[in-house]
Structure 1
């Protein structure tokens, strides 16, 4: 299981955008999202955590990998969003 904290994921639109980005690369991946906790969990045999982090970043968000309940990496600036999220 690959777990990320995504502080700039704030609504259902954000959740949908991340899910679509993951499913585009691995339609068989299991994606669990907790918007209130800003957590994304991806279960996949296709890519590793660093690659999933890149997928979330390319979708316009700022993921921080979480391992065993601790932050594993510092956030990296996300690219500018095209059109932005409905929540600003």
Structure 2
């Protein structure tokens, strides 16, 4: 199991959080997603190393932008 954290720009409400959780949660291998609206941090748990490009694409599909993977 692996955990990675991303900073996401543009989230302003609970609906934003739900959208990001839903899109990122659908990425193959992702087992859990936690979004902190106040900090913009998205923590992703996955079976193995997360596919950063797929995570970023899912965030963009939700309408937001990954600023920096950490």
TM-score, normalised by the number of residues in structure 2: 0.77
Matches within 5 A, 1:1-88: 1-26=3-28, 29-45=31-47, 47-67=50-70
Structure in which a larger fraction of residues adopt helix: 2
Bigger RCO (CA 8 Å, 6+ sep): 2
Structure in which a larger fraction of residues adopt strand: 2
4+ residue runs of structure 1 moved beyond 6 angstroms?
A: none
Larger radius of gyration: 1
What is the aligned-residue RMSD (CA, Å)? Answer: 2.0
Question: Structure 2 unaligned runs (5+)?
Answer: none
Where 1:41 maps in the other structure, the secondary structure is strand
May I ask how many residue pairs the two structures share in their alignment?
67
CA distance in 2, matches of 1:31, 1:65: 17
